[in-house]
Amino acid sequence: MACSFLPDLLCKFPSIDDTTIRMARKSVDDGFKGLVRAYTNAIDVLVQPLQSFLNFLESVFVNSPWIVILIAMVAIVYYGSRNMRITVGTIVSMVAIGLVGLWNDTMITLAMVTVCTLIAILVGIPIGILMARSERAQSVINPILDVMQTMPSFVYLIPVVMIFGIGKVPGLIAVVIYAVPPMIRLTNLGIRLVDKEVLEAADAFGSSQWQRLKNVQIPLALPTIMAGINQTIMMSLAMVVVASMVGVGGLGRNVLQAINNQFFTVGFLNGFALVAIAIIFDRTSQAYGKRLQKHSEVIHG
Amino acid sequence: MASHAIEVKNLYKIFGPRGREFVDRVKVGMTKGELNERHGHVLGLQNINISMPAGGVMVVMGLSGSGKSTLIRHINRLIDPTAGEVLYDGVDVCKMNENDLREFRRHKTAMVFQKFALLPHRTIIENTIYGLEIQGIPDSESRKRAQGWIERVGLKGFENHYPNQLSGGMQQRVGLARALTNDADILLMDEAYSALDPLIRVDMQTVLLDLQKELKKTVVFITHDLDEALRLGDKIAILRDGKVIQQGTGQEIVLKPADEYITAFVKEVNRGRVINVETIMKPLSGNPEGIPVVLGTVLEVAARMMTVANQTSAHVVTVDGKPVGSIDLATIISAMVTPISHEPSLQAAE
C-alpha cells in the first residue's frame, strides 16, 4: 500500500471537518428558509396569476365534453399539418386513451404541457434574441443553460418546493426550467445563422434594429425556432412525470403510483398515453414548420 | 431631383481592433504585408481619392481582395472608415449620426448585391417593396410603384413567385427592381452581375444602360471584369491592394495603361469597342472623302459601316453633320489590334 510510506495528508483527502460543514449547511439552509418565509406574501402574489391561468385552462380541458375537445384537437392538427395520416392517427390514439379511462388525466397533462410550452416560448425567444445580439449575454447565459440542462431535475425541485410549496406551480416551474434551454439555444442559433448578405441588404435599405429583427432575422430563423418549440414540447412531456412528485396531477401521477406499487399495466398504459400525445404534438408541429418553409423548397432547376 | 456627385477623399480602412493607430504609419509608407505580419491588422483601403460623376456610371474595378467591395460599402457606410471622408451633396456620410444615416440609406441610396440577397420568405413583389415598406409608405402605394419596376425589368407575371423559383438572372432582376423602386439618387451595385452567366450578364448590362439613359442616377458599379467596366463605365477606377492605380475613362485606360498590371488587363480587351473615331482621326485635309461617321462612334462600328459601304476611307462629322476629320480603314485596323509595345511585357508577366 502506498499509504504505508506516504504522509497521511497526501493519502487520505483532507476534507473540511464535519462540524464546520454542518454549520455552513445549516446557516445556508436557515438563511434560505428565512428568506422564503419573509417573502411568502410577495411570492404568493407573484404566483397567483400563473396559478389561476393554469387552473382555468385545466378546468376548460377537463370540464368540456370530450367530443368538443376531440373535434378541436383534430381541427388544430389538420390545419397545422394538412396531413390526413397525422389527423387519423390523432383520432385513433385519443379514442384509445378515452377507452382505457385515461381521458381526464390526459386532459390535465395536456393543460400542463400547453402552459409550460407557452411560458417556455415567451421566456425563451426573447432570451435567445438577446443572446444572438450580444456576445457578452451569450457568454453569461450559456453556462447557465448548461447547468439547467445537466443538473438533475430532483435537485432544483428542492428549492422550488421550498419557495412555492407543493402544487402545480412548482411543478410548472420545474418543467419550464428543464424545457426552456433548447428554446433559447435554438433561437440564438437560428438568428446567428441568418445569411449575412441578406442582413446587409436590410441594413443597406435603412432598416431599424426592430425592422431587421421582424422582417429578416425572425422569419429566416423560423425553421430553427420551430425545432426549438418542438424540442420544448417533447421535454415538457418527459418532465411532467418528474413534476408529479411535487403534486402535479395527470398521467405523470399515475406513472408515479404505478412505480411505487409495481402496477405494470397501469404504468405502461399511462406511458403510452404520454407517447401518443408526444407523437401528435411532434408530427403536427413539424409538419406545420415544414409548411411555413414551403417557399424554400421549390428550387429553380 | 438631380443626382449629386460622390467625393471620396483620403479614405483609409484598416481592419483590426486598433486600426486607427496605424493610419499615420501607413501614410508614411508602411506596407500592407508589414502591417499584417508585424501587427496583425489588414490594410483594406489606402488613400482613396475618387470623384464619382453625378448622374453617371462610376465603375470600380479590381480583382478579389483589391478592396473594391470594401470601398462601395463606405458609400452607404455599411463599413466605417478608419480615416477620410465620403461626401455626398456636401455632407460627410462618415460623420452622420445613426438617425441621419438611416434616413440617408432609406432615401438616397439603393444597393444591388452579388448574391442577390433577396428575402426567401417573401414573394417577388414583397421583396421589391421592401425599401418603401421600411420607409413607412402605405402598402397599396408601394405595390403600385413596385409593379411598374417589376414590369420594366421584365418580370411581369412573376410577382407572386418566391425567389427560389426563379433563375439567377431573374433573381438579380428582382434585386435591381428592388433598388429602383426605392427611387434613390445613388445606385450601388456590388458585383451585381458577377454571379450571372455571360449571356445573361450582357443582357442585364443592356437593361442597366437603357434605364440609366432616362434615370441619370449616380451609379457606382463594382466588377472584376474589364469588358463589363468598359461597357458600363463613364469613368473607371482600377483598384489593387487597396490602392487606386489608375482612374479615367475607358479609352484613357485602354490607350495609356498606367502600369504593367493594367497593361496585362487591357491586352485582352476588344479595343474596337472602346476607342472612338475622334481619338485616331486626322485633321481634315481637302474635301471630306467616303462615308460620314458621327463623333463618338467606336472603331468597330465605323469599320463595319465602311466595309458595308465598300469604302476604305471616311470622314468624321459632328452631330450637326459638320466634317471635322478624316479616317481610313488601315488606321482603324492598326488601332484595333493590341500594340506590340504591350506584348513583351505581357509575356514576361505570364
Q: What is the pLDDT of residues B90-105, one digit of tens each?
A: 889 999 999 999 999 9
The x, y and z cell numbers of residue B2, run together, are 438631380
Phi and psi at B224, nearest 5°, equal -110, 10
- Using N-to-C axis directions, what is the helix angle for A218-243 and A153-164, rounded to 10°? 80
Q: Let me know if B166 is exposed, middle or buried by CB neighbors in 10 A (0-12, 13-18, 19+).
A: buried
Q: Do B78 and A200 touch (CB under 8 A)?
A: yes
pLDDT tens digit string along A231-290? 999 999 888 888 888 888 889 899 989 989 999 999 999 999 999 999 999 999 888 888
Using alpha carbons, list the distances in angstroms from residue B98 to A44, B7, B105.
Answer: 45, 21, 11
Q: Find chain A residues with C-beta within 8 A of B120's C-beta.
A: 198, 220, 295-296
Q: Find chain B residues with C-beta within 8 A of A195's C-beta.
A: 117
CA–CA gap between residue B328 and residue B314 (Å, rounded):
6
pLDDT the model gives residue B346? 45
pLDDT the model gives residue A102? 92
CA–CA gap between residue B179 and residue B185 (Å, rounded):
11
pLDDT the model gives residue A245? 86
Q: Find chain A residues with C-beta within 8 A of B78's C-beta.
A: 200, 203-204
The x, y and z cell numbers of residue A113, run together, are 404541457
Reply yes or no on whether the pLDDT at B181 is more than 90: yes
pLDDT tens digit string along B280-335? 888 887 788 888 888 888 888 888 988 898 888 888 888 888 888 888 888 888 88
SS3 B331: helix
Q: Find chain B residues with C-beta within 8 A of A193's C-beta.
A: none
Q: Nearest-CA neighbor of B238 among B214, B266, B211?
A: B266
* Mean pLDDT, residues B107-117: 92
CA–CA gap between residue A242 and residue A238 (Å, rounded):
8
pLDDT the model gives residue A22? 92
d(CA A209, nearest CA chain B) in Å: 11
CA–CA gap between residue A90 and residue A277 (Å, rounded):
8
pLDDT the model gives residue B150? 93
Q: Do B164 and A300 touch (CB under 8 A)?
A: yes
d(CA A199, nearest CA chain B) in Å: 8
Q: Where are the domains of chain A?
A: 25-293
The answer to whether residue A201 neighbours chain B at the CB level (below 8 Å) is yes
Domain A25-293: which CATH class? mainly alpha
Q: Categorize the per-residue pLDDT at A301 as very low, low, confident or very high, splitting at 50, 70 and 90.
A: very low
Q: What is the mean pLDDT of chain A?
A: 89
ipTM of the complex, rounded to two decimals: 0.82
Q: Which of A34-48, A178-192, A213-227 has the lowest mean pLDDT?
A: A34-48
* Mean pLDDT, residues A179-185: 94
Q: Do B165 and A297 touch (CB under 8 A)?
A: no
The answer to whether residue A214 neighbours chain B at the CB level (below 8 Å) is no
Q: Do B119 and A205 touch (CB under 8 A)?
A: no
pLDDT the model gives residue A271? 92
Reply yes or no on whether the pLDDT at B187 is more than 90: yes
pLDDT the model gives residue A298? 59
Boundaries of CATH 3.90.1280.20 in chain B? 271-336
pLDDT tens digit string along A52-97? 999 999 999 999 999 999 999 999 999 988 889 999 999 999 999 9
d(CA A203, nearest CA chain B) in Å: 7
Q: Please report which helix (H) or strand (E) contains residue B102, including its range.
A: helix B98-107
Reply yes or no on whether the pLDDT at B339 is more than 80: no
Q: Find chain B residues with C-beta within 8 A of A299's C-beta.
A: 164
The 10 Å Cβ neighbour count of residue A150 is: 8
d(CA B165, nearest CA chain A) in Å: 5
pLDDT the model gives residue B158? 92
The answer to whether residue A17 neighbours chain B at the CB level (below 8 Å) is no
* Mean pLDDT, residues A104-124: 92
SS3 B286: coil
pLDDT tens digit string along A277-290? 999 999 998 888 88
Q: Which of A57-61, B149-153, B185-189, B262-266 has the lowest mean pLDDT?
A: B262-266
Reply yes or no on whether the pLDDT at B348 is more than 50: no
CA–CA gap between residue B326 and residue B277 (Å, rounded):
9
Q: Do B117 and A296 touch (CB under 8 A)?
A: no
Q: Which CATH superfamily is domain B6-108+184-266 in?
A: P-loop containing nucleotide triphosphate hydrolases (3.40.50.300)
HEC readout, chain A:
CHHHCCCHHHHCCCCCCHHHHHHHHHHHHHHHHHHHHHCHHHHHHHHHHHHHHHHHHHHHHHHCCHHHHHHHHHHHHHHHHCCHHHHHHHHHHHHHHHHCCCHHHHHHHHHHHHHHHHHHHHHHHHHHHHHHHCHHHHHHHHHHHHHHHHCCHHHHHHHHHHHHCCCHHHHHHHHHHHHHHHHHHHHHHHHHCCCHHHHHHHHHCCCCHHHHHHHHHHHHHHHHHHHHHHHHHHHHHHHHHHHHHHCCCCHHHHHHHHHHHCCHHHHHHHHHHHHHHHHHHHHHHHHHHHHHCHHHCCCCC
Does CATH place domain B271-336 in 3.90.1280.20? yes
